[in-house]
């Protein structure tokens, strides 16, 4: 009785609208690229590496003892952290690892963007940023890239609650010079600046050397592209000891055991195999340059890509039409509807054979 009275006087018990759903956190999720189940698809839609991971990973996988799965994995992922720290010549306390860079970026948003001021990222960039901002209730503002899809530096020299820049950017493939990135970091000592370098290994200029100089910089990279391990899910951030400590505090307030034992061991082996990594990147870059040349001769134009994809639009045929025709032919690329992106296709650089198949189709279709 007492309970009912209390409910009535708050108007809860009598509210017909009130249901369990009124308390749901409703969000519009990110839409990842399609992962087709059929065999034989030429998959150039999610910027995966067309080559296998390091043979060292294969060796460890073959030797893997399932008995270790009885135990919880190392919550510090020390082996992996060590391999990353040693590769980049930073302290282990300057490295944070996560389940793909999506996990690292989400943790960074949750950790560092906690003011009423809007965070800033470009209007055309990785489309997960606004999803995380909405999920965590972070206000954001998206300054427009210029007509050539270039970053307008001045837009980031205004009061803000944080900055996120993908460099090279996705889906444009453009890499801004490090001098521009450094100026943005230097002139924003009151904000944490995230540089998302998912594609940097394919020819971008990394901000990694700046981590010793700026406490407010977090550089995020991934094993999903240049290290051919998208299926394993490994991402990492390198930053100041202080920033990494804050990030770890939030991560360990959420879930201690996110990274499993095989991932830790195989990731460390992959990071240590530098020769294989370089060889893979070189093959992708060589094919990218060939793809650019051939696309240009077919009437496509595109910003100069420093990534493992090309963001191309055709002089005559609309991107939506090409996307559908390619898909019909079993060649998957990515299409982003929208006013500024809707006449472009984002084409991942595949093997030379996959690239020839794509070009053969386009030559015939565009004739």
Q: Which residues bind ligand PMP (CB under 6 A)?
A: 100-102, 126, 166, 170, 196, 198, 222, 224, 230, 235
> Which tokens is 287 given?
């094919």
171 cis-preceded (ω within 30 degrees of 0): yes
Question: Checking DSSP bridges between strand 345-348 and strand 309-314, what pairing results, if any?
Answer: antiparallel
CB 345 to ligand PMP: min, Å: 16
Question: Checking DSSP bridges between strand 331-332 and strand 42-43, what pairing results, if any?
Answer: parallel
Task: Provide the greatest CA pair distance for the chain.
Answer: 80
CB 307 to ligand PMP: min, Å: 9
Q: Considering the complex, state which of residue 166 and residue 247 has its C-beta at the smaller distance from ligand PMP.
A: 166
Q: Considering the complex, state which of residue 109 and residue 361 has its C-beta at the smaller distance from ligand PMP.
A: 109
CB 235 to ligand PMP: min, Å: 4
Q: Considering the complex, state which of residue 309 and residue 323 has its C-beta at the smaller distance from ligand PMP.
A: 309
Residue 186, class by beta-carbon neighbours within 10 Å (0-12 exposed, 13-18 middle, 19+ buried)?
middle
The closest residue (CB) to ligand PMP is: 100
CB 298 to ligand PMP: min, Å: 25
CB 38 to ligand PMP: min, Å: 22
Q: Considering the complex, state which of residue 220 and residue 362 has its C-beta at the smaller distance from ligand PMP.
A: 220
CB 184 to ligand PMP: min, Å: 17
> Which tokens is 184 given?
């943005």
CB 132 to ligand PMP: min, Å: 11
Q: Considering the complex, state which of residue 166 and residue 184 has its C-beta at the smaller distance from ligand PMP.
A: 166
Q: Considering the complex, state which of residue 102 and residue 205 has its C-beta at the smaller distance from ligand PMP.
A: 102
Q: Considering the complex, state which of residue 206 and residue 222 has its C-beta at the smaller distance from ligand PMP.
A: 222
CB 97 to ligand PMP: min, Å: 11
To the nearest 10°, report the CA torsion of 276, 278, 280, 284: 180
Q: Considering the complex, state which of residue 238 and residue 362 has its C-beta at the smaller distance from ligand PMP.
A: 238
């Amino acid at each position: 009785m007492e309970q009912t009275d209390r409910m009535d006087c708050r108007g809860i018990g009598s509210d017909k609208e009130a249901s369990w759903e009124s308390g749901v956190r409703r969000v519009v999720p990110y839409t990842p690229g399609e992962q087709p189940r059929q065999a034989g698809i030429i998959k150039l839609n999610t910027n995966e590496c067309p080559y296998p991971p390091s043979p060292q990973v294969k060796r460890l996988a073959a030797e893997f003892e399932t008995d270790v799965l009885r135990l919880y994995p190392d919550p510090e992922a020390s082996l992996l952290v060590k391999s990353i720290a040693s590769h980049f010549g930073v302290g282990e306390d300057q490295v944070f690892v996560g389940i793909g860079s999506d996990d690292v970026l989400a943790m960074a948003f949750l950790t560092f963007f906690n003011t009423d001021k809007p965070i800033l990222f470009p209007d055309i960039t990785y489309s997960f940023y606004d999803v995380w901002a909405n999920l965590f209730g972070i206000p954001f503002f998206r300054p427009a890239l210029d007509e050539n899809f270039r970053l307008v530096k001045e837009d980031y020299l205004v009061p803000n609650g944080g900055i996120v820049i993908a460099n090279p950017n996705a889906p444009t493939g453009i890499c801004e010079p490090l001098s521009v990135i450094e100026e943005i970091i230097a002139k924003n000592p009151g904000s944490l600046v995230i540089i998302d370098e998912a594609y940097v290994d394919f020819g971008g200029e990394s901000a990694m050397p700046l981590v010793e100089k700026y406490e407010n910089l977090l550089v995020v990279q991934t094993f999903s592209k240049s290290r051919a391990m998208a299926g394993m899910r490994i991402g990492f951030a390198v930053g100041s000891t202080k920033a990494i400590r804050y990030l770890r505090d939030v991560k360990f307030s959420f879930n201690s055991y996110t990274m499993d034992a095989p991932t830790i061991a195989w990731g460390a082996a992959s990071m240590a195999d530098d020769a294989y990594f370089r060889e893979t990147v070189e093959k992708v870059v060589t094919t990218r340059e060939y793809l650019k040349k051939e696309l240009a001769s077919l009437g496509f134009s595109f910003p100069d890509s420093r990534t493992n994809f090309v963001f191309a639009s055709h002089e005559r045929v609309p991107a939506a039409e090409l996307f559908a025709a390619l898909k019909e032919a079993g060649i998957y690329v990515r299409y982003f509807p929208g006013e500024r992106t809707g006449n472009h296709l984002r084409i991942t650089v595949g093997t030379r054979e996959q690239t020839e198949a794509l070009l053969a189709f386009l030559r015939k279709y565009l004739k």
